Amino acid sequence: MELEENPTLYKIRHSMAHVLAQAVKKIYPEAKLGFGPPTDTGFFYDFDFDNVEFKEESLKSIEKEMRKIIGQKQEFVRSETDAEGAIAKLTELGEGDYKIENVRNLGQRGVSEFSFYENGPFADLCEGPHVVSTGDLPAKAFKLDRVAGAYWLGNEKNKQLTRIYALCFETPEQLKDFIERRSMAEKFDHKKLGKELDIFDFNEKVGKGLALWLPNGTIIRDEIEKYACEMEFKYGYKRVATPHIARAELFETSGHLPYYEDAMFPPMEMKEDDSSETTDKYYLKSMNCPYHHLIFDSRPRSYKYLPYRLSEYGTCYRYEKSGELSGLLRVRCMTMNDAHVYLTPDQFEDEFRNMVKMYMEFYDTFKFTEYSFRLSVRDDSDKFVGDPAIWDKAETLLAKVMDELGLDYFVGKGEAAFYGPKIDVQFKNLMGREETLSTIQVDYQAACLEKFGLKYVDSDNTTKEPIVIHRAPLSTHERFISFIMEYYGGAFPTWCAPVQVCMLPVKDSCHDYANKLATELAGDFVRVEVDNSSNAFGKKIRTNTMRKIPILLIIGEQEVEESTVTIRRYGSRDQETVSREDFIKLLKTEIKDRVMLREPMGSII
């Protein structure tokens, strides 16, 4: 988190929240104060304007007053008192309701000392810290951003307050950069693009968080999955397919029940037949790994046939809370690019090395540049199971391989899974925030394998438990496509674009040539269209450019006469005329090799 890494910025934003409250109280003396914390991009403050008429247009006058306060260089002075003194001071300040309730709540939790910060004529209950004076605040690097409603203490049963959000950075340049990035992120928001480009939809008749993939979106899914299947074949994986439901017994064995039942859909109860006296419970699948464990255990395994790599684009279901659902980023039905590798201890290092190389090959194809690795290890807490010596070995091996590959990585102490260390690959979105897109989780302790009884026969003819690596380089279809929609700005590379080529005949006399070429390309499984509409030629270009089709072919009388095409690529005004045969050869190579000829938006912002 940015504020944890930058205490100076935290102080600035925290102090600016006080300046905002002071300015509001100057303009609206009857306003009551709620909370005013710093955030990742600035700060906010909650106000109860009660019967006072507040309008969003007032933000400009509040900003002006804030800059006056900054210019006065008011010193922040801290004082401390007990609960009784705090309530008395708040009563004196006229802040009786919300602040006093906060003091009493904190007192019930054992807090006995309370601090105030005063600057100029303003005082507020606050634990700090703050800058020395308002003169230390960047007068030109903040902006009151928007107004929203917020329930007191986040409880919808309480009164709704007015929340004023603000942006704040250390320099005007940083503020300007953030605003530009946010504008670009709003333009390329995957929810907006999904609607504009007919990629996915949600419908209340289906249910919240359950995406409907439209024809264009399904093409993107299929092409990405096809690529993943080819890569997995190259790296020695065997594909499997597992059911969407299973009896409760499977998830009890895996540990999902009862520990994760709240995140699972409710069970379906049924009898096998009318004469049965018992009722079975079935649950929708929330993870693929229990099924893969059973496939591994379906017959005896020898060390000679390990590593045993199972992969699946398996559809899973999780009952995410309604308020946490967000487009494709947080859904209740997801298709995971999942795999589990069962191996012996002496195979671990080579397998992990090849796995990281596979991930980076994926990233190179998609032209990902802004990513970093996080090595999550254990700490001294008691939440991690197993032999510390095995933990040491696993963590050392992971770091060794990453060092050998020349990868920069951050060590997250205490962030490992309870059963073993893991690697998270962090990507930056258009706002510069990090999101986890890929993972490698190491089960070095056979934490749940004993319940499944997973064994292999080793070279000394003894049975042993395998190590298991859980691996998901492309996350889920939903999360991954939401990311690349924004990263590409909706302009997908030719190989996975819903429509790869659109032909634009200049005149009616050119339609026959365009249609014949389209038929030839379609015979080679190219996704091609011909714009045979009656629109003027300029409108044809504008319409199909808005669809973000990677290749437009201009077909005029000269192209018909010379058996050529004029190529116009998305994002470029340049045009190139080549022979029909050369274009077909060029296109086939571009699709086969999954070439991307333009920089994604996410790599240049």
Stated as kind and residue range, the H or E segment containing 340 is strand 333-343
Q: How confident is the model at residue 214 (pLDDT cuts 50, 70, 90)?
A: very high
Nearest in space to 198 (alpha carbons), one of 569, 600, 548: 548
Q: How confident is the model at residue 298 (pLDDT cuts 50, 70, 90)?
A: very high
Q: How confident is the model at residue 489 (pLDDT cuts 50, 70, 90)?
A: very high
Average pLDDT of the segment spanning 484-512: 95
Stated as kind and residue range, the H or E segment containing 247 is strand 245-247
- What pLDDT, on a 0 to 100 scale, did the predictor assign at position 603? 57
CB atoms near residue 415 (< 10 Å): 16
193-205 pLDDT tens trace: 999 999 999 999 9
Contact 489, 604 (CB under 8 A): no
Q: At what angle do helices 83-93 and 98-108 cross, to 10 degrees?
A: 170
Q: Are strands 212-213 and 280-284 parallel, antiparallel or unpaired?
A: unpaired
- What pLDDT, on a 0 to 100 scale, did the predictor assign at position 1? 42
- What pLDDT, on a 0 to 100 scale, did the predictor assign at position 442? 86
Full DSSP string of 527-592: -EEE--SSS-HHHHHHHHHHTT-SEEEEE-HHHHHHTEEEEEETT---EEEEEHHHHHHHHHHHHH
Lookup: tokens for 61: 């006058």
What span, in angstroms and rounded, lies between the C-alpha atoms of 25 and 119? 13
Nearest in space to 285 (alpha carbons), one of 338, 333, 246, 331: 246
Handedness of CA 40, 41, 43, 47 (dihedral sign): negative
Longest dimension (CA), the chain: 93
- What pLDDT, on a 0 to 100 scale, did the predictor assign at position 4? 61
> What percent of the chain clears pLDDT 90, i.e. is strictly above it?
68
Query: Cα 12 to chain center, whole Å?
Result: 28
Lookup: tokens for 218: 């399904």
Average pLDDT of the segment spanning 71-75: 96
224-272 pLDDT tens trace: 999 999 999 999 999 999 999 999 999 988 888 877 888 899 999 988 7
- What pLDDT, on a 0 to 100 scale, did the predictor assign at position 18? 97
539-586 pLDDT tens trace: 999 999 999 999 999 999 999 999 999 999 998 889 999 999 999 999
The CA-based angle 144-145-151, given to 5 degrees, is: 100
Contact 40, 2 (CB under 8 A): yes
Domain locations in the chain as residue ranges: 2-186, 217-238+288-310+336-487, 245-270+279-286, 494-603
Average pLDDT of the segment spanning 295-299: 95
- What pLDDT, on a 0 to 100 scale, did the predictor assign at position 434? 79
Nearest in space to 131 (alpha carbons), one of 13, 256, 299: 13
When mean pLDDT is compared across 1-10, 31-40, 78-87, the lowest value belongs to 1-10
Q: How confident is the model at residue 314 (pLDDT cuts 50, 70, 90)?
A: very high
For the domain made up of 2-186, the CATH class stated in words is alpha beta
Q: Are strands 333-343 and 308-317 parallel, antiparallel or unpaired?
A: antiparallel
CA atoms within 13 A on the CB side of 589: 7
Q: Residue 447: pLDDT above 60?
A: no
Q: Residue 51: pLDDT above 80?
A: no
Taking all residues of the chain, what is their mean pLDDT, rounded to a whole number? 91
- What pLDDT, on a 0 to 100 scale, did the predictor assign at position 55? 82
Average pLDDT of the segment spanning 320-337: 92
What span, in angstroms and rounded, lies between the C-alpha atoms of 501 and 591? 11
What span, in angstroms and rounded, lies between the C-alpha atoms of 123 and 89? 9
Q: Which one has a higher pLDDT value, 222 or 262?
A: 222
- What pLDDT, on a 0 to 100 scale, did the predictor assign at position 550? 96
Helices (H) and strands (E) in the chain, counts: 19, 27
Q: Residue 86: pLDDT above 80?
A: yes
Nearest in space to 75 (alpha carbons), one of 143, 122, 39, 40: 122
Q: Which fold has domain 217-238+288-310+336-487?
A: BirA Bifunctional Protein; domain 2 (3.30.930)
Query: Do 217-238+288-310+336-487 and 494-603 have matching folds?
Result: no
Average pLDDT of the segment spanning 146-161: 90
499-522 pLDDT tens trace: 999 999 999 999 999 999 999 999
Q: Residue 2: pLDDT above 60?
A: no
Architecture of domain 494-603: 3-Layer(aba) Sandwich (3.40)
User: Any residues with CB less than 8 A from the CB of 78 and at least 6 apart, and which?
Assistant: 115, 116, 117, 128
Q: How confident is the model at residue 523 (pLDDT cuts 50, 70, 90)?
A: very high
**What is the SS3 assignment for 116?**
strand
